[in-house]
Structure 1
Amino acid sequence: MAYGIKETMLAKLYIELLNLPKEGKDALKLLNYRTPTGARGDAGDFATIAYFVLKPRCSQKGSLTVQQVNDVLDAVASNNSAKRKDLVKKSLLQLVTQSSALEQKWLIRMILKDLKLGFSQQTVFSVFHSDAAELHNVTTDLERVCRQLHDPLVGLSDISITLFAAFKPMLAAIANIDRIEKDMRHQSFYIETKLDGERMQMHRGGDRYEFFSRNGFTYTQQFGASPREGSLTPFIHGAFKADVQVCILDGEMMAYNPSTQTFMQKGNKFDIKRMVEESDLQTCFCVFDVLMVNNKKLGHETLRKRHEILSSVFTPIPGRIEIVQKTQAHTKKEVIDALNEAIDKREEGIMVKQPLSIYKPDKRGEGWLKIKPEYVNGLMDELDVLIVGGYWGKGSRGGMMSHFLCAVAEPPGPGEEPSVFHTLCRVGSGYTMKELYDLGLKLAKHWKPFHKKAPPSGLLCGTEKPEVYIEPCYSVIVQIKAAEIVPSDMYRTGCTLRFPRIERIREDKDWRACMTLDGLEQLRGRAAGKLASKHLDVGAEDAPREKKRKAAPKARRAVGIIERSKAPDLSNVSRVADVFEDVEFCVMSGTDAHPKPELESRVAELGGYVVQNPGPDTYCVLAGAENIRVRNVISSGKHDVVRPEWLLECVRHRSCVPWQPRDMVHMCPSTRQRFAREYDRYGDSYFADTDRRQLEEAFSRIQSPGPQTPADMAPVIADLEGRYFWDPPALSALRHHTVYVDLFAVVGDPATEIRGTRLAAAAWELRFHGARVVSHLAEGVSHVIVGEDRSRLADFKAFRRTLKRKFKILQGAWVTDSIDRCELQDEAPYLL
């Protein structure tokens, strides 16, 4: 069962359910479970850390039965796959309130699928039955293993492929082009395009369909269990020949763009397993094998015979269900030509198959080979990027860095060195354990905790943040090989690398020589993001990969300090007063009239001293202009940020002038509390007399909030209901929906007017249950409700294609059924 929940998501859910302070000790333990603490040696073991957090907060003895636990886990899996986070929280809340900490420790391990028993499933299988491991590898069905092999004396002589039972598909091994003719036994072979989608098997029995992934997970609900539902089945059911009622097909599920009549690559921003009929792209099943037709099993037939049978199973429908085309070849040159053509077409690679091979579930190779450009030396562009962050490992890598965050540099000015870095990718493969250990020793003393609210000024991140970071001058460049550059919001560059791995550590390169943003953009534009832009020569020998060799290290340049981080020379400044004697200031920016060096001199004149980075003893930060360093200080919330005018006023009076609201760019919590006691929300003092200028400033801060409409209050009400109600109130089921009801009716037609009245009633029902019903169709509408009059359906769909956020078009029965059953109904059966 796929729960789809990992440690970080569990940590956030537990923090919310237990109402832990987000910056509190226990919350940080859960979020940073991989960070070594040295206390119990449990770094990387989330379940153990969660146990100690839960122990003082949970009952000593749980009250759930085994059946109830199974029901909760089933609910977690189904609701998470449906992206119903609120219902996942509700299921976990049941575990928190009705289970002991020890029970939850093992339930967490079940959800994470890592029981840490000290032995693998293979050990259990070997004791249970000699054929157990083989049957499970093929079917991925533990219940089937237990039922068929419960008697040790009963052997499994023939593991067969069964209708509506998932099995692990046959896989391809990586080919060596130089040996391709030998591997194909010097006989003819097939070449196919390697499709970049999701491996999927389709089982059909009459009007019943089921779809399984390569790991045995079911996606039937997504693609359609019958000809009346799903993003695929309704469009392909009529393609099957009349005499074919039962079949099992193996292929690749692809996303097809009907506008360009091309297949989308997986690197683009879409998820084929979550596409719906309303999407701009459409689901297409590309079939390359058939394993059963009308209950006749074909696994032991040759590939040539299966291909002949496949052509008689269905009639292809372009963009919906197609047969993967193959060409017959004999020589290595034809393979190289096919690979070069795939590179030109920006395809993932090619497949090479033996016509006489039989289908062997869960076997790799056995007559099937794959060739990608990244498997061949010299065809890929490689990137020299800088390690800027790290992540603690778990399991065998617990207590050490296992993954690294890499970045490219902003192009520095002439004669300058790079000082700002944009994150690009996270990488955790390609090295040996010894290389990882040696790299860990090299960088260990330079890692610093990464604080999301106060990130280092020179490191720009997207949504992906490291657990620790390293100053560039102490880091190393790594050479990375990847398949392509793809769009991504997780990294500051706006893109990332697909399938990245470290090829070698560039000891021969100084940290300043890492790739820049300009170099990345050139590489990205050269071949539409594909990093395979070179052809393989026909005469080239594709020797096995060489072992990585460390180049002789060059003499490293002296480590320096970035110019802006150097302390100013204030030795020549004469002190004129002791107003700020031994008080620490950080001047981050000045104004046009009073630049940063001048302000630092003014601090020194009054007896203070200047630091370049604020610390625990810093009195305040002075900022005349907002830049990224100032924004980082503000986001940290640890320091007061004050305008330079306050300092200049102190200089004029040669005394420390009390802060007033107009002086403040940002206040830390303690200062904000003090101001709240002395000033109202508009900056007018409760105690001190005011003058005309101060009064005008206070009036300028008063802004009319404007009228509060029900639409403005809906998100607030929904948040309160979600936070404080155990079960969502029945009258708020539609609170998050913005609905347009098609009340258009033909005047003078009594039947149409009656149907219009029914829709009008549905509109009132929607409002009554929390939905926002709008009178005009526009961006932001989530659902359109249509009655029996479907004359405007084509117009709605045409308008939908112009929007960024696509609304769903549903029958009016969805509203009435949801309200009658007091629960939102699955939208799929009501889609139009």
Structure 2
Amino acid sequence: MVRTSRLAARLLASADTKQLETGLGKYRCKYGLQRQRQLAACTSMIFEHRSILSAALSRCRPIVVFLFLVCGSTYNPVFFKILPGFKPVRPVFEIYMNFITRVPKTTQSVAKDFGDICYDILRIRCSSNTSSLTIAEINQFLDKLSSTYTSSKKSENTEKLLQPLLMKLSGFEQKWLIRTILRDVKLTGISEKAVLSTYHPDAKELYDASNDLEKVCTTLINPLNRSSGIEISLFNPFRPMLADRLSESKILMKMSNKPFYVETKLDGERTQIHKRGNKYGFYTRRGFDYTSSYGADPSVGNITPRLHNCFRESVTSCILDGEMVAWNVNGSFIVSKGENIDVKSMSPTGGLVPCFVAFDILLLNDEVLSNLPYKERLKLLESAVKVRESVLHFPNRKLVSTKMEVADLLNEAIDQREEGIVLKNPDSVYKPNERKGGWVKVKPEYVGDMMDHLDVIILGGYHGQGRRRNMISMFLVGVAVPFLEGKQLEFYSFARVGSGYSDKQLMGLLEKLNPYWQKWDKNTLPPMIHFGKEKPDVWINPSMSAVLEIKASEIVSSNSYKTGMTLRFPRVQRIREDRAWDSCMTLSESVTDDIPAKKRIKLAGCTTVVAAPFQSADTSHVKSLFTCFSKKEICVLNGSDSLTKQELERKVVSGGGVVVQHPGHSTFCIIAVKDDMRVKSLRNRPKWDVVSPAWLLRCLNVDRLVPLRPQDLMVVTRGTEERMIQNYDRFGNSLREPTSVEDVASILQRVKDLENPAQLSIYEIANLEHEIFGQVHKYGIFRTCVVYVDLWETISDPNSQNISRELEIVSFDLRIYGAQVCNRMDPSVTHVLCDPVSYPKRAAVWKTMNHGREVKFKLVRLEWVEHSIKKGSLVDEMAYYP
């Protein structure tokens, strides 16, 4: 600090601007580049990294203060070098790896990134001496380099700038310069959050809300001063809120039977629109400004002239969040981003034009809306803009509360070849750069474990909608079934699939199939194809068809298809041009098979390699030592590490049983250890009992078939279930046989589970009332409300003085009409009821408290209760805000 003060004093005394810059440059070099090199030398020591980082930023902070006060500059020598990938103060370099050097095809060392590769090559060719260049001179070079971006001869100019500079630098210095140009310095163990938090506790929050590193340096110079509130502002691009990726079980847990909005996930470019009067700004999620392309005012750009009239006259300023997509004018549909389309460079009069899909509003008429619940922001969004085809749209949106509705909407999105869906909590507030704030994206590849690939044959087709209304865009696929000697091969319908292929692949496939499509007519159906309830628009002779390789999450039962089952979330992986039409998957290769084993066929050319845990055992040398399973047909689905599938099959044979790989009509039972996907599929259609190996071992021990117990069963058929009811109580305790010691623990656990049932949530009760009465029940108006009534002088202290007798009376009304009234404030509270007329200062206290809460509550006057009861449903809380 003493050295810093002396240097600052010397510089202040100097009237020579060049000398000032040179002095600062040397200081930057000494305390900026030195720390940067130290960071590079400690790649395996994360804590030491952060210690060095903190010291570097602390040493540079006095210089930043001096620059800000004297020169008006906000430059931080370490900050901008460590985070070169953040929104730049200078234009982008647009220099890629091949502009810097050509990397040899082989190298003897293994490098972590491009900078390391260059260093491995350059260290034996360049001087090892440290250059005399200061960071000030390096920055001047970077400014010149960025100016070549707009030049028509940028490649030639870039080479002229790079060559003399690289000749002056050592190999080690070139590595860090290259990383800076490519905007990725590769500091092990130091994330952007760690860097920002080291500089100032509020730095990350401010950067997320502004996307401006320069503003972070300017605003948060003093690490001891904390910001009282950081908000989104006009023409300062923020980092948008993100959607989390969760597994299916976690999605259901997050929903908890509460309503969620489901929106179609668009394949566009995340864009925010800032508007004040006739001035517009367009920014990407990384904060890059593309206003010059889209239009700064209604007279220029490829979308602003058309977009301007979509705002209602009452809107003076606003910020919209959404996706910029390409709109096909002739077909009236959104074009996928995967088709290599640059929306920014489109002509406003071409066949493809930019179109903005708005799904959120963060500011309206200078009022920041980010702390409002999503459902309220949606109302304001719809009141602020008007939908206009090819210019501004809203995403498809639906309010759901069950797993089945989510699955149906995802299937629908897949059928329409959309990217997926997004679930949004109606009560979620907008948090910049937050991925766990209440938004969840669901794609087919996020849902469960995907099955192995299935080769199926196209049996029919369906006409598309919208842009594909005049062509076949979805297919009915099937599998081969066994045939009797002398008869032709037959096929059963299995599933519908309409996603996974590009438009180019679809057109190529249709070019082959179109000559052979035949219109559906029940009187002229081909004898070799068997359809279920699901009928296609057109069908095709299998010998003229094609084989598709499909991936799906699981097989589920369905009476719409001839196989009696179908696929969940199917997607085409590829078109199998290498496979003949008669080499598709057979029905006997599926889990639930309706065809007797003796009729199964195995087609020539169809070789299947089965993973070791699922291979059948060689039982040719196993002797039958017992008779408990005499001539009983048993299928073993899976095993465990201690008792493998092959060992279980050998035990079945040793007990006199017959092992089959696929269950049929004569199968006695199925043995399984793991509750995997195949067991779950069988549970949807319980044709066989699925039994644990413990039952099999008990039978072998006594050499007879012992009765099944509830704890032995993973899947129960109707007949077995009826026997269980006659022989066992609801806890699994036998009514006829003595209870063994080993069964006591499992029975007691069932007793514990059943005697302590989970309480119904308020949302489950509300759903139950809606199912019974078909509407909101009279005495369930406030069923989903958790209300704190502001009765006591000290919040959450019932022992303090009662300040409102009238509120106490209203609290009884709330309970009568279904509300859950709390004595203490906690995160579950959804409403706070206050009396601002009698106690006007109290409302201000609640507003301040609500501002600091992560989950906001709704502050209302007591009239809200009275008017809701009169109306018979909840009235809008905004009208009763004190």
TM > 0.5: no
TM-score (norm 1): 0.42
Q: Which has the higher helix share?
A: 2
Return the structure number with greater relative CO, CA threshold 8 A, min gap 6.
1
TM-score (norm 2): 0.40
